[in-house]
Amino acid sequence: MEKLQQRVKEDGVVIDGGILKVDSFLNHQIDPELMYEVGETIYNKYKDEGITKVLTIEASGIAPAIMTALKFKVPCLFAKKSVPSTLTEEVYHTDIHSYTKNKTSHVVVSKRFLSENDRVVIIDDFLANGEAALGLYNLVQQAGATCVGVGIVVEKSFQSGKQRLLDAGLDVTSLCEIAALDNGKVTLVGEGEL
Amino acid sequence: MEKLQQRVKEDGVVIDGGILKVDSFLNHQIDPELMYEVGETIYNKYKDEGITKVLTIEASGIAPAIMTALKFKVPCLFAKKSVPSTLTEEVYHTDIHSYTKNKTSHVVVSKRFLSENDRVVIIDDFLANGEAALGLYNLVQQAGATCVGVGIVVEKSFQSGKQRLLDAGLDVTSLCEIAALDNGKVTLVGEGEL
């Protein structure tokens, strides 16, 4: 997705430890038209697959996921990192570790909203080690549902996440693939090649 | 907003202590088309006001806020309940207490994304005691920005939040106003009157 790739190159900031800061358009301040185009692109990839639900995790996954769900005209379900007082029934749950935050979250979705009849697209803002996407896939499997594909806004292709998802048999659609974050510079996959 | 009001009546579940559970379409599973209509309605209310930014708080505010921002073609900024490692610069911050969760969150927005030139619409999923909306208004004031209005998906009109926002001089647009949650039943404002 060219507009997204340009935006990552222009507005992404590389900070210490190979962390990419994209908080001007993705995970603090959000560009809604860019997110709409993200949703459209994921929709075009999986539109003939009978998708019934879009699954993500709070909070930064919600914007791209709701736009994807809008295009599919299906519900968007977001996994919660804490169990709210209003969630009084049975849940599917798993643990997801964030290396960036150095924190493990116990995430849940209500059993009411995911069933064996569901055909799910998983959406997340980042793919690095694959922890979040694999955790969401675990929830899909617990429900006996089918994961048709995983849509990622920004993939750090130099980390292990993509391969781990492929090894799990998942179809992965990444809209911006980052080859390296060296010397304060974002290099995209394929960039600079002849 | 009639479709929203119907949905709250039909799918809202009243649980102990006057808590309304709307997690089938608003704050766990989300109906994207309903959220789009929420955004459209808020847009129609403030479209001539020169809005430059939509402000909300993670996580349940993001879906209605991003749809509102999509209509306005302006950025959506969400206040964070924890300070991420990528947020290395100065922030505006305040404390917001949730009575439902019985928890006080320290919320922040980066100073880069809110300035005295901004004309802001604040969006949240619920208005009860007004803590979240007033906390967001506090952030807007710290930035010297202007709060043009507050858009609320579901207002509990029997609690003090609406009056507190009006007392602060804010314009409030609530799309579904709930008069009572007694005996397990949702009663809307104006419902049953001649």
Inter-chain residue contact B70 with A29, CB threshold 8 Å: no
Tokens of B157: 């009109």
Domain encompassing residue B38: 2-187
- For A85-96, what is each residue's pLDDT tens digit? 777 789 999 999
pLDDT at position A49 is: 98
**Pick the residue with more confidence: A87 or A81?**
A81
- For B144-188, what is each residue's pLDDT tens digit? 999 999 999 999 999 999 999 999 999 999 999 999 999 899 999
pLDDT at position B165 is: 98
Q: How many domains does chain A have?
A: 1
Please check whether residue B92 is in contact with residue B158, taking contact to mean a CB–CB distance below 8 angstroms: no
Inter-chain residue contact B19 with A86, CB threshold 8 Å: yes
Any residues with CB less than 8 A from the CB of B35 and at least 6 apart, and which?
A66, A70, B63, B64, B67
Query: Tokens 């299906």 belong to which residue?
Result: A74
**A contacts of B36 (beta carbons < 8 Å):** 70
Query: Tokens 């997705």 belong to which residue?
Result: A1
- For A88-139, what is each residue's pLDDT tens digit? 789 999 999 988 788 999 999 999 999 999 999 999 999 999 999 999 999 9
- For A164-174, what is each residue's pLDDT tens digit? 999 999 999 99
If one counts every other C-beta atom within 10 angstroms of the C-beta of residue A110, the result is 21
Q: Mean pLDDT over all residues of chain A?
A: 95
Residue A132: inside a domain = yes
- For A46-71, what is each residue's pLDDT tens digit? 999 999 999 999 999 999 999 999 99
Whether this model's pTM surpasses 0.90: yes
Q: How far is B105 from chain A (nearest CA, A)?
A: 14
Which one-letter DSSP state was computed for residue B80? B
**A contacts of B29 (beta carbons < 8 Å):** 75-77, 110, 113
Of the candidates A15, A35, A87, which has its C-beta nearest B66's C-beta? A35
Q: How far is B9 from chain A (nearest CA, A)?
A: 17
Residue B194: inside a domain = no
| pLDDT band with cut points at 50, 70 and 90 for residue A11 | very high
Residue B176: inside a domain = yes
Tell me the C-alpha distance between A139 and A96, whole Å: 11
In 3D, which of B43, B35, B37 has the Cα closest to residue B64? B35
Tell me the C-alpha distance between A78 and A81, whole Å: 10
pLDDT at position B193 is: 63
Residue A177: inside a domain = yes
Residue B91: inside a domain = yes
**A19-21 vs A91-98, strand pairing mode:** unpaired
**A contacts of B76 (beta carbons < 8 Å):** 29-30, 32, 63
Secondary structure of residue A136 in the 3-state scheme = helix
pLDDT at position A169 is: 98
| pLDDT band with cut points at 50, 70 and 90 for residue A193 | low
Inter-chain residue contact A21 with B86, CB threshold 8 Å: yes
Q: In this predicted complex, what is the ipTM?
A: 0.96
CATH number at residue A121: 3.40.50.2020
Tell me the C-alpha distance between B117 and B125, whole Å: 26
Residue B192: inside a domain = no
If one counts every other C-beta atom within 10 angstroms of the C-beta of residue B161, the result is 24
Residue A131: inside a domain = yes
Please check whether residue B8 is in contact with residue B188, taking contact to mean a CB–CB distance below 8 angstroms: yes
Which residue numbers in chain B have pLDDT < 70?
Answer: 193-194
| Mean pLDDT, residues A3-28 | 93
Residue A81: inside a domain = yes
Is the pLDDT confidence value at A194 over 60? no
Query: Is residue A103 exposed (0-12), middle (13-18) or buried (19+ Cβ within 10 Å)?
Result: exposed
Please check whether residue A18 is in contact with residue A181, taking contact to mean a CB–CB distance below 8 angstroms: yes
Of the candidates A28, A74, A80, which has its C-beta nearest B113's C-beta? A28
Of the candidates A36, A74, A88, which has its C-beta nearest B70's C-beta? A36
The percentage of chain A sitting over the pLDDT mark of 70, rounded to a whole number, equals 98
pLDDT at position A71 is: 98
Tell me the C-alpha distance between A63 and A79, whole Å: 14
Please check whether residue B90 is in contact with residue B111, taking contact to mean a CB–CB distance below 8 angstroms: yes
E-strand ranges in A49-102 read 53-57, 76-79, 91-98
Inter-chain residue contact A77 with B28, CB threshold 8 Å: yes
**B contacts of A33 (beta carbons < 8 Å):** 70, 73
Binding-site members of A for xanthine are 20, 27, 156
If one counts every other C-beta atom within 10 angstroms of the C-beta of residue B182, the result is 11
